[in-house]
């Protein structure tokens, strides 16, 4: 099955994902914005298949989702994959040296800070049977700080790296695009600039919501 704007025909892309994975959404969204389809390879993250030696040997030795196959070549890590796709399509890379530097600066920051902590906080809050309240409180405080930083950045410019959408937006919007009852944040009420930016991203041609692009069985919810 192909998934994405061009539903028919064989896609050169295969995406190993699970629907709740914001990191997977980064790649699915980038492909959608570039008018590309992909073959979705739903992965049983809830059953911890990505922890098995077999899966790691066959798909990703780093033990992580997503994995994007491009004509059989298996790629991991969303940052370099987004950069590669931006190069392939000549889109969303930034147009000046200064803009490209901003893209890299925010991509790295997102990987280490916003996405990493938001993903872990949301997972513990919503998709874990039991989680340590002290760890959750720590993560919540970190995400609060990071969202404040993004709010400040977007108070002064329409997109993360300036006047145009780039892969920094694709990366940073991903976890914030999931429903508020999963993330635990009511962004329209708490972060007006972030909310307005998410609406600008959602208005880009080809945009689709996370669970629309990433179909299939969902993780069990505990909150
Ligand atoms: N930096 C990686 C992050 C990937 C990542 O953390 N994926 C999660 C699922 S969304 C995962 O597989 N986590 C398993 C683990 O942390 O052991 C990327 O950008 O691709």
pLDDT higher than threshold 70 for residue 4: no
> Is-contact 51 64, C-beta < 8 A?
no
* pLDDT for 48: 98
Sheet holding 13-17, edge to edge: 39-42, 13-17, 67-70, 73-76
Shared domain for 101 and 183, answered yes or no, is yes
- Across the chain, mean pLDDT equals 96
Shared domain for 137 and 76, answered yes or no, is no
Give the range of the structural domain holding residue 54, as residue numbers without chain letter.
13-91+207-213
CB of 31 closer than 6 A to ligand 1? no
Is 81 among the domain residues? yes
pLDDT tens by residue, 52-92: 999 999 999 999 999 999 999 999 999 999 999 999 999 99
Which pLDDT band, with edges at 50, 70 and 90, does 9 fall under?
low
pLDDT higher than threshold 60 for residue 38: yes
Dihedral of CA 210/178/161/157: which sign? positive
pLDDT tens by residue, 139-154: 999 999 999 999 999 9
Is 7 among the domain residues? no
SS3 (DSSP) at 5: coil
- Total domains in the chain come to 2
User: How open is the CA angle 181-79-180, to the nearest 5 degrees?
Assistant: 5
Is 62 among the domain residues? yes
pLDDT tens by residue, 91-137: 999 999 999 999 999 999 999 999 999 999 999 999 999 999 999 99
Is there a cis peptide before residue 123, judged by omega within 30 degrees of 0? no
CB of 50 closer than 6 A to ligand 1? yes
Tell me what the mean pLDDT of segment 197-213 comes to.
98
Is 52 among the domain residues? yes
Which pLDDT band, with edges at 50, 70 and 90, does 1 fall under?
very low
Shared domain for 77 and 171, answered yes or no, is no
pLDDT higher than threshold 80 for residue 170: yes
Question: 3: which strand partners?
Answer: 38
Shared domain for 59 and 129, answered yes or no, is no
| d(CA 138, ligand 1 centre) in Å | 20
Which pLDDT band, with edges at 50, 70 and 90, does 5 fall under?
very low
pLDDT higher than threshold 60 for residue 206: yes
Is 3 among the domain residues? no
Tell me what the mean pLDDT of segment 173-200 comes to.
98
Give the containing element (helix H, strand E) for 18.
none
* pLDDT for 190: 98
Shared domain for 81 and 104, answered yes or no, is no
Shared domain for 105 and 193, answered yes or no, is yes
| 5, HSE (Cβ side, Cα atoms, 13 Å) | 13
Q: Ligand 1 pocket test: which of 65, 68, 75 has the largest number of ligand atoms within 8 Å of its C-beta?
A: 65
Is 114 among the domain residues? yes
pLDDT higher than threshold 90 for residue 2: no
Dihedral of CA 22/27/28/32: which sign? positive
* pLDDT for 10: 83
| d(CA 96, ligand 1 centre) in Å | 30
Shared domain for 106 and 69, answered yes or no, is no
Shared domain for 86 and 115, answered yes or no, is no
């Amino acid at each position: 099955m192909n998934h994405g704007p061009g539903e028919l025909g064989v896609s050169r892309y295969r995406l190993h994902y699970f629907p709740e994975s914001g990191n997977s959404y980064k790649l699915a969204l980038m492909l959608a914005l570039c008018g590309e389809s992909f073959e979705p390879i739903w992965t049983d993250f809830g059953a911890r298949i990505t922890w098995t030696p077999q899966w790691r040997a066959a798909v990703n030795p780093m033990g992580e989702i997503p994995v994007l196959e491009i004509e059989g070549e298996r790629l991991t890590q969303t940052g370099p994959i987004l950069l590669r796709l931006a190069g392939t399509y000549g889109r969303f890379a930034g147009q000046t040296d200064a803009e490209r530097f901003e893209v890299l600066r925010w991509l790295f920051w997102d990987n280490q800070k916003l996405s990493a902590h938001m993903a872990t906080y949301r997972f513990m809050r919503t998709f874990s049977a039991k989680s340590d309240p002290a760890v959750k409180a720590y993560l919540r405080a970190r995400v609060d700080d990071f969202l404040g930083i993004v709010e400040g950045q977007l108070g002064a410019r329409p997109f993360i790296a300036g006047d145009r959408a780039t892969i920094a937006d694709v990366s940073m919007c991903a976890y914030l695009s999931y429903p508020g009852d999963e993330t635990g944040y009511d962004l329209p009420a708490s972060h007006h600039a972030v909310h307005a930016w998410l609406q600008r991203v959602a208005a880009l041609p080809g945009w689709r919501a996370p669970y629309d692009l990433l179909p299939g069985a969902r993780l069990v919810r505990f909150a």
